[in-house]
Structure 1
Amino acid sequence: MTYAALLARAEADPDVVGVILSGSKARGTDGPHSDWDVHVVVREQTPRWTGSHTRELDTAVLTLAALADVSDRWARYAYRGAVVLLDRGGIAELVHAQATLSPAEVDPFVREELDGYINFVYRAAKSRRDGHHDLARLDELEAGPWFLWTLFALYGRVRPYNKYLRWELDNHPLPAPWTFERLVSTPSAVFTDLERLARSRGYGDVFDAWEDLDLLR
């Protein structure tokens, strides 16, 4: 099935309540090998609609309840920059809720991810101190995802997929000093800036629960 045929079929089916275009086509970053990433939202699961993947078209079928479920944090960035092609009630609002963090979500996100980030940069610092630079490098790699989740959560945003990090910052920049180059630097190198930001947002207690932070500073 072609992209155009899928849209026509969805528009003709009253059980389809929404169609969402995501991925590189929606964000304008597509290349010669990019396919169409389409989410078809149905009221309830029906055998008439099943997901499929071809070289041209990647189709995911989900229910309205599934679109409203924000518990899969990794899947949420798929909706950042997505284009709602068909909305028969509330689809745009649900897409927005997936692509951003609500005020109630920010605090638990930040606390969990910030603590994980501190843990790994602390481990890296101890390994460097003890001359184990190969192990420190592994801990730095572990710290990276925790850092990105923390930083974007502090601004009420979900972490971008690495593929779209530059697109995210080009289209929705963060305040200084959070440039693309800063975000892809060694996680330990951003500790002081992240601590300053997190403390200004009321998360000093997360740092204060750790001893010997001077090792990281």
Structure 2
Amino acid sequence: MTAQEHLTYDAFVALAAADPAVVGLVLKGSQAHEGMTTEHSDHDLYVILADGATTELARFTGHRTPELDLVILSLDEFRAAGMPGFERYALARARIVLDRLGGVIAQILADKTRLAADEAFHEADAWLDAYANSLYRSVKNDRDGHALAARLDAADSVRFLLELLFALDRRPRPYNKYLEWELARFPLPGWDTELLLDAANHISATGDVPTQRRLFAQVEAAARRAGHDAVLDAWGDDLRLMRPQ
């Protein structure tokens, strides 16, 4: 093994904290989610450099071991990370290890936790339509005797549903690993967490049509309250197949 491969998290943090080019360190992943670490958990660390700065730490670019994964980037690049993108949730719940900018790093992370109103509305429109599409296909396939297709479409619908519900609350959707963690600490307004997770689990496992329809009734009401009537009304008479019978 090389010396780089032997580098520990604590040793690297000490190196970075002593380097004036480093303006922030941000830890994401399991280590930033209380109670989620296991013996297999590594440390995923963003190393944020002052714009235009050079540093010998650049030699660790791409460093990845079972203990430590590093992402080294400029302040501007960090500000743009996950905006939009898959990393947004990870950064929204990340933990600050070092902020040399008097709260700037903290504000950047805070900005990632909340979708802009227009952004959230447009995302919710798209996810609502995708959810309705998969739900409709699932119910129709069940009616027509295509059991596997019905279950697969039902499982797809749960993904779109979760994206929709978090967009309605102007939040990035958590990764599946952190869904229960997130909802236990930050419930979705108007939703009973236990009932929602039970329904998602049951639908994903079985494609049960009555459960899908009951859940859709709640989703339709919430979506209409949030102003998404146009997406729903575009489905016309097909809504009857999705609603409770």
How big is each residue's C-alpha offset from its partner over 1:1-58, in whole Å with a ceiling of 9 and x where there is no partner?
1111111111122222210011111112111211111111123485444131112112
Q: Which amino acid aligns with 2:66?
A: R
**1:127 offset after TM fit, Å?**
0.8
Aligned partners of 2:48 and 2:74 also within 8 Å: yes
1:132 aligns with 2:158: no
Out of 10, 19, 22, the residue aligned to residue 13 of structure 1 is: 19
Cα contact 1:109–1:150 (8 A) shared by 2:
yes
How big is each residue's C-alpha offset from its partner over 1:72-112, in whole Å with a ceiling of 9 and x where there is no partner? 43211111321111113321111122233122321111111
List aligned pairs for 1:91-170, cutoff 5 A: 91-170=105-184
Unaligned 5+ runs, structure 2: 1-6, 205-211
Q: Choose from 232, 236, 243 the match for 1:207.
A: 232
Aligned residues: 217
TM-score for both structures, normalised by structure 1: 0.92
SS in 1 for 2:180: helix
The aligned counterpart of 2:30 is 24
CA-CA distance at 1:176 after TM superposition: 4.1
1:82 equivalent to 2:94? Answer yes
Q: Does 1:53 align with 2:64?
A: yes
1:67 aligned to 2:78? yes
Cα RMSD, aligned residues only: 1.9
Higher mean Cα deviation, 149-158 or 81-90?
Answer: 81-90
Equivalent pairs: percent with the same residue? Answer: 41
Q: How much has 1:180 moved relative to structure 2? A: 4.2
Contact 2:165 2:188 in 1 (8 A): no
Contact 1:41 1:64 (C-alpha < 8 Å) held by counterparts: yes
2:161 partner SS: helix
Corresponding residue of 2:44: 37
**Mean CA deviation greater in 39-48 or 89-98:** 39-48
Higher gyration radius (CA):
2
User: Letter of the aligned partner of 2:26 in structure 1?
Assistant: I
Q: Does 1:3 align with 2:16?
A: no
**TM-score normalized by the length of structure 2:** 0.82
Equivalent position amino acid for 1:112 in 2: A
Greater CA drift, 145-154 or 66-75: 66-75
What is the CA–CA distance in structure 2 between the aligned matches of 1:36 and 1:149, rounded to whole Å? 27
CA distance in 1, matches of 2:107, 2:154: 37
Q: Distance in 2 between matches of 1:131 and 1:44?
A: 62
**Misfit runs of 4+, over 4 Å:** none
Is structure 2 residue 237 aligned with structure 1 residue 216?
Answer: no
CA distance in 2, matches of 1:148, 1:95: 22
**1:166, 1:180 within 8 Å by CA — same for their partners in 2?**
no
